Structure 1
């Protein structure tokens, strides 16, 4: 049954079938044809896969992110970032990177970050004489940080399928996200210095203060979310609801950029996105249940423990598998499929569960813009109008520098866990 299941998944994926159809249909066909399991049990497992407290946070974070985008928070963060780093060598590109980090903390969505930041910053990068190859690589890689920076939807999914604390994953994601961002910023500085690119005039103290005050309400959101969770005021799920209500208040009462019409459309878009994510989670949970029933995780764990006795080698292989998988699949899909298979083995090897989650998400973030199938590549192309060959040099440069960050995150656990240890 398992062999037929995997063959059907591969065939359906290569036939460009939607991922939830490939997972769900192949599961139903394999079970119906080659087992005595009642089809009604599969229906129950589909709905059971969504009956998790952690998943309640998803629709609220998705709604909050869409409200923030429409409500004008992203452009205020861009102006604030420019006031802080615009005068440094490589300042415009650094503004793009820093803004993506903060917008990632608002949206939790990589493609949304690419679009929101890219459509504003790409013309500005070209105007400041940045090469279009470099600029396209920057946009694709900077947007990927949304998978790591909390409140990352992918981190929530990892917590839901493994039982790891979402709050701890969020805190560890801050450290990992900073390392990822710094690796890009160092390369940006080197590139701008080497090519003698112009930089903006240093913003006056008054301009920095003005930009900070205007972005203040947007910058408070990560503080509210993470501060509320770790102070015990609310759970990660409740934090999602708080962030949505807060974003709506700021967008309508303070910034006054959201109308009833745009709010209604935001609700529709959020509902569609939530449905897309949850139907994928349900199908992947069904697949995971079938694989577990067939003993696949146990066989994988047994093979690794019998043949690989080095944590270093295990993590290296895990990174390779995740990087390849990230090229073909969106982060939520990859986590829901792979995390239940990898988690038991990693625990048997003594790997910290929070650290494992950060490693997996960091890999998938890089996979989001890894040629030739990274999703962010295609999203960036809608902004830059460049083809794959034209984008390749810039993509590979940022791939190389972010791989250095991945090595640090993977083999130096305290780089991402120190904040978790500090707050516990």
Structure 2
């Protein structure tokens, strides 16, 4: 039954059927052909998959991200990042990566980060004679860090699938995301220095101060979210609502780049995006239920239990997730796989928060891994490049990202320090 389910799902995906239809239709067909269960149960399970309080935050974070893009907050973040790191070798590349870390903390969306950073930074990098492959690879991977740094939509999905604390995952994602970003920044600097990539004029405190003042309203959003959750002022779901209202207020009344017509359009766009994500989650939940009644958890646990150490288990998990990330969208992989491996991981002494961060980092790397990484398709439309023009840059940043993954996987103190301090 499980084999038929997987084969049918991949056939539907391969011929271009929308993801949510592929997941739900394959579930219904397998129930109809191989069980005595009424196919309507698959629909009920789909609705049950989105009937969770923690998922209420998703539409608000999506609304906040769109408001920040339309309201000019993301442009000011880029200018601030350039005044901070532009004087290093490869200043524009350093700026793009630094801005991606902060924009990830604003939006929590990988495609949104690629679109926002690529739209502005890629033409500038070409003007300064950066190699096309390096520049495109940088833009492609820049969005991946948005899945790790809070408020990460993907971390919320893991929390929903495993009943793990969203606040603890956010704190673990913050420290892991910073380490991920630092590894990439070190590589960018060394590569830029070796190839003598251009840099801005010498560091000027006056420019940094000016750009910081201009971007201060933008920089306030991650502070509100992180400090508000860690100090107990509001829950992650409430933080999403606060962030959305704050972003709209700043865009309309401080920067004055959003009018009433623009507000209507960004609300409509956010509603469409939210519906797309929710219906995919619902379909994936139905698929996950089919795998459960088909004893997939027991089969997977039986295989994984052959590892007597967490080290071997995590190595296999990383390999499996990296492969899945090439073909499946991150939210699907999380919702289906996380509940299957949670018990085994905990039995080996792996904290659910650490497990969640490892899974999200793996799937973040999958967003720019060929052949079906989502960021590749976003970059294709934003940058206008074909796969063969991007593959060299993708490979370079993929290797560096794997180094960051190994550090986060095998040094759990990086992930667990903040959750242990704040949530004890």
TM-score (norm 2): 0.97
2:24 touches 2:42 (CA, 8 Å); kept in 1? no
Pairwise CA distance, 1:76: 0.3
1:236 partnered with 2:242? no
Superimposed CA distance per residue, residues 249-270 of structure 1 (whole angstroms, 9 cap, x where no aligned partner): 1111111110111111101111
Q: Distance in 1 between matches of 2:360 and 2:262?
A: 32
Superimposed CA distance per residue, residues 181-225 of structure 1 (whole angstroms, 9 cap, x where no aligned partner): 111111111111111122101342222111001100110111111
Pairwise CA distance, 1:343: 1.7
Correspondence for 1:30 = 30
Moved more, 367-376 or 355-364: 367-376
Written as runs of structure 1 = structure 2, the 5 A alignment for 1:366-405 is 366-405=365-404
The residue matched to 1:328 in structure 2 has which SS?
Answer: coil
1:75 partnered with 2:75? yes
Q: Distance in 1 between matches of 2:416 and 2:128?
A: 38
Q: Distance in 1 between matches of 2:408 and 2:159?
A: 19
The residue matched to 2:104 in structure 1 has which SS?
Answer: helix
2:104 touches 2:145 (CA, 8 Å); kept in 1? yes
2:28 touches 2:39 (CA, 8 Å); kept in 1? yes
Correspondence for 1:272 = 272
Correspondence for 1:105 = 105
1:94 touches 1:185 (CA, 8 Å); kept in 2? yes
Correspondence for 1:291 = 291
Written as runs of structure 1 = structure 2, the 5 A alignment for 1:6-21 is 6-21=6-21
Pairwise CA distance, 1:86: 0.7
Written as runs of structure 1 = structure 2, the 5 A alignment for 1:167-186 is 167-186=167-186
Correspondence for 2:422 = 423
Correspondence for 1:330 = 329
- Structure 2, unaligned runs of 5 or more: none
1:249 partnered with 2:249? yes
Correspondence for 1:219 = 219
Superposed CA RMSD? 1.3
1:323 touches 1:364 (CA, 8 Å); kept in 2? yes
The residue matched to 1:238 in structure 2 has which SS?
Answer: helix
Q: Distance in 1 between matches of 2:26 and 2:387?
A: 32
Superimposed CA distance per residue, residues 330-367 of structure 1 (whole angstroms, 9 cap, x where no aligned partner): 21122112212222221222211000000011011111
- Structure 1, unaligned runs of 5 or more: none
Superimposed CA distance per residue, residues 357-390 of structure 1 (whole angstroms, 9 cap, x where no aligned partner): 0001101111111123222122222233332222
Q: Distance in 1 between matches of 2:4 and 2:393?
A: 40
1:300 touches 1:345 (CA, 8 Å); kept in 2? no
Correspondence for 1:48 = 48
Q: Distance in 2 between matches of 1:338 and 1:124?
A: 40
Correspondence for 1:408 = 407
Q: Distance in 1 between matches of 2:177 and 2:254?
A: 29
Moved more, 376-385 or 364-373: 376-385
1:297 touches 1:344 (CA, 8 Å); kept in 2? no
Superimposed CA distance per residue, residues 24-54 of structure 1 (whole angstroms, 9 cap, x where no aligned partner): 1111111122222223333322211111010
